[in-house]
A and B are shown apart, each in its own frame.
Chain A
Amino acid sequence: TQLLEQSPQFLSIQEGENLTVYCNSSSVFSSLQWYRQEPGEGPVLLVTVVTGGEVKKLKRLTFQFGDARKDSSLHITAAQPGDTGLYLCAGTDSWGKLQFGAGTQVVVTP
């Protein structure tokens, strides 16, 4: 059973559109991380959110951490083909191990 639930599993949009990916859990996390993974490569860290209610922006990407620190969202504004990839949320469990959500495959077509 996945500790972190991600939705949707797959998202296909046109260039210029906006999208949101959600990451939910029944557990409280001290922090959540978002990664992007390209085929055949390891995940690359995008951001870490630590404080409940926190909002972080990284150019066109906006990350939000829920007040109760159980959920997070990633919003991409005006998506570009270069945003295509597998987006993964991850949290450190009570044993100090980084556990991943199932991932959201995002495809942005020109």
Chain B
Amino acid sequence: GAVVSQHPSRVICKSGTSVKIECRSLDFQATTMFWYRQFPKQSLMLMATSNEGSKATYEQGVEKDKFLINHASLTLSTLTVTSAHPEDSSFYICSAWDREYDGYTFGSGTRLTVV
């Protein structure tokens, strides 16, 4: 089936630094990828939709200058958390729609801890 590879799986960074998270679609092309954030014991909240070759669209309340999304190719989307603060600590997950699989497939998530 369709696989989305996400890394790193865990990252700890200092306040004020930036962190990049990568998601790659394996064996299929993803013109659109979705980025979610999940706080402990809560559901996934959609942050933004990443479109290959164009600007990402952000959900209400999500700062586009803080969460930079790049989707430069059909198989790679990146999320960069800039000037991270402890409140950005969360579980970040990407997802893509695979036409052949006829469903959304998710990355394994990235646990970000900002200290």
Q: A: which residues have CB within 8 A of B?
A: 2, 33, 40-45, 48, 88, 90, 97-103, 105
Contact = CB atoms under 8 A, between A and B. Distances in A.
B44 A43 contact: yes
A56 B111 CA distance: 34
B104 A33 contact: yes
B49 A42 contact: no
Interface residues of B, number: 24
B83 to A, nearest CB: 26
B56 interface: no
Q: Considering residues B4, B6, B104, which has the most beta carbons from chain A within 10 angstroms of its beta carbon?
A: B104
Given A42-B108, A45-B103, A101 B43 contact: yes
Given A98-B34, A105-B41, A45 B105 contact: yes
